[in-house]
């Protein structure tokens, strides 16, 4: 990349909260979210929004009659987008693009409409316009009264970081000066969880006595432990170095695996090796202070990514972490929520490790962090960010 891209604002809504202070506090609290103590209070092994965040979503839904018909995936994105644009001091007079993606889109709403059709043979009038994938960015554009390009897409679990790639491409091309990018997911439905169970990747440890049922980053686990979470996050990107930048995007990389199976990934995650090398082109590898791994909590997914990192960095590995033991796998939103952890670690100059992982000692300030994401189909993305 021949010039920096500024991240001028970031906002999220997730099981960790809906503002940076709350999110950081919950990252510091090992017992929050997926401890056995937390799960004992839950009906199912999922990571759902907390009560305060659910209230925010309910208030948005009730604020406009049109919003009563929207899926949670849209409302999550609306909540995060409103706050990010406010932080960046963008207004409806600014021309900015929007690219908010989702792996599943209107999951809950689509399933409800389909069930109604099976039961009655009829579909609701708004069944189609409120379940198209493009309705996420379209409704955000309506809500923010923006006049730039609107893009929605699904590239499974790397969707949000692909949105960031798109935003960077638009900014570097000179076709836009500002872009709102991110991802949103509301996958906590019985059918979606059943799909993950059918793949034999969903956690069953919650039935045992383990402290953490989601063992993302445990490279010696003997069974898959993925758990689903919900949420959305967005960031405001602007071309060049801005005075209000909270960090810079200084490297991007992407690659696609040659598949042997619909959900396969090679033993050394060739796609990750390629995406990381592209993002780190012309970078001193020792300057990378930490990596936020994709690490979904599956045996193969976690271990192959680690092998790819070892191939790229050799014996001098940066600090390694993930957030999925905290918030579960949020599918299309996962990459941008990993970016949030990277931003917070840089801001507080504090490494957040995984309590059941190998202990790692922070020996220098956290100034550069690499974020990885990959989805079904081997669509890997790596993004390097640098402290302002």
- The pLDDT tens digits for 334-374 are 999 999 999 999 999 999 999 888 999 999 999 999 999 99
For 43, residues 6+ apart whose C-beta sits below 8 A from its C-beta are none
| Pairwise CA distance, residues 16 & 13, whole Å | 8
Q: Cβ distance 106 to 100 under 8 Å?
A: no
Interhelix angle 51-63/72-88, nearest 10 degrees: 90
209: alpha, beta or left? (left if phi > 0; alpha if psi -120 to 50): alpha
DSSP 357: S
Please classify residue 388 by burial: count the beta carbons closer than 10 Å to its beta carbon, then call 0-12 exposed, 13-18 middle and 19+ buried. Answer: middle
- The pLDDT tens digits for 131-184 are 998 999 999 999 999 989 999 999 999 999 999 999 999 999 999 999 999 999
Mean confidence (pLDDT) of the chain: 91
| 171 in the same domain as 53 | yes
Mean pLDDT of 102-122: 96
> Of the candidates 170, 385, 156, 158, which has an alpha carbon nearest to the alpha carbon of residue 279?
385
| 234 in the same domain as 146 | yes
pLDDT at 41 > cutoff 90: no
Q: Cβ distance 180 to 140 under 8 Å?
A: yes
| 300 in the same domain as 192 | no
Last residue of a domain, one of 239, 269, 293: 239
Residue 277 lies in a domain: yes
DSSP 291: E
Q: What is the percentage of the chain residues whose pLDDT exceeds 90?
A: 80
CATH number at residue 184: 3.40.47.10
- The pLDDT tens digits for 287-301 are 999 999 999 999 999
Q: Cβ distance 188 to 230 under 8 Å?
A: yes
> Of the candidates 91, 63, 61, which has an alpha carbon nearest to the alpha carbon of residue 76?
61
Number of structural domains in the chain: 2
Residue 114 lies in a domain: yes
Which residue in the block uniquely carries the two structure tokens 């990993």?
338
Full domain range(s) for residue 115: 5-239
pTM, rounded to two decimals: 0.94
| 285 in the same domain as 210 | no
Give the residue ranges of DSSP H helices in 174-244. Answer: 190-198
Confidence of residue 33 (pLDDT cuts 50, 70, 90): low
| 222 in the same domain as 342 | no
Q: Are strands 368-375 and 290-292 parallel, antiparallel or unpaired?
A: parallel
- The pLDDT tens digits for 214-232 are 889 999 999 999 999 999 9
Q: Cβ distance 333 to 233 under 8 Å?
A: yes
């Amino acid at each position: 990349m021949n010039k920096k891209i500024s991240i001028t604002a970031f906002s999220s809504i997730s099981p960790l909260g809906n503002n940076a202070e709350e999110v950081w506090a919950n990252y510091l609290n090992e017992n929050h979210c997926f401890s056995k103590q937390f799960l004992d209070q839950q009906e199912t092994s999922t990571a759902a929004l907390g009560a305060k965040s659910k209230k925010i979503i309910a208030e948005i839904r009730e604020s406009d009659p049109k919003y009563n018909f929207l899926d949670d995936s849209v409302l999550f994105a609306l909540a995060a987008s409103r706050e990010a644009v406010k932080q960046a001091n963008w207004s409806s007079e600014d021309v900015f693009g929007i690219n908010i993606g989702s792996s599943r889109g209107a999951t809950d709403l689509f399933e409800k409409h389909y069930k109604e059709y099976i039961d009655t043979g009829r579909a609701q009038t708004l069944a189609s316009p409120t379940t198209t994938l493009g309705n996420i960015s379209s409704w955000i554009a309506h809500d923010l009264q923006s006049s730039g390009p609107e893009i929605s897409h699904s590239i499974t679990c790397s969707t949000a970081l692909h949105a960031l790639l798109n935003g960077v491409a638009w900014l570097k091309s000179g076709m836009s000066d500002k872009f709102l990018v991110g991802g949103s997911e509301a996958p906590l439905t019985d059918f979606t969880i059943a799909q993950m169970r059918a793949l034999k990747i969903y956690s069953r440890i919650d039935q045992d006595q383990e402290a953490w049922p989601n063992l993302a980053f445990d490279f010696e686990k003997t069974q898959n432990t993925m758990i689903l979470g919900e949420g959305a996050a967005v960031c405001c990107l602007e071309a060049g170095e801005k005075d209000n930048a909270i960090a810079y995007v200084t490297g991007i990389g992407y690659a696609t695996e040659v598949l042997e199976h619909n959900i396969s990934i090679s033993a050394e995650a060739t796609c990750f090796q390629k995406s990381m090398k592209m993002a780190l082109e012309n970078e001193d590898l020792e300057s990378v202070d930490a990596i936020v791994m994709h690490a979904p909590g599956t045996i193969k997914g976690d271990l192959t990514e680690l092998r790819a990192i070892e191939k790229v960095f050799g014996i001098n590995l940066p600090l390694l972490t993930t957030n999925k033991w905290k918030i579960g796998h949020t599918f299309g939103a996962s990459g941008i929520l990993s970016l949030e952890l990277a931003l917070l670690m840089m801001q507080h100059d504090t490494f957040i490790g995984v309590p059941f992982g190998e202990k790692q000692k922070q020996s220098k300030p956290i100034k550069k962090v690499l974020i990885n994401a990959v989805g079904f189909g081997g669509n890997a993305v790596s993004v390097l960010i640098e402290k302002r």
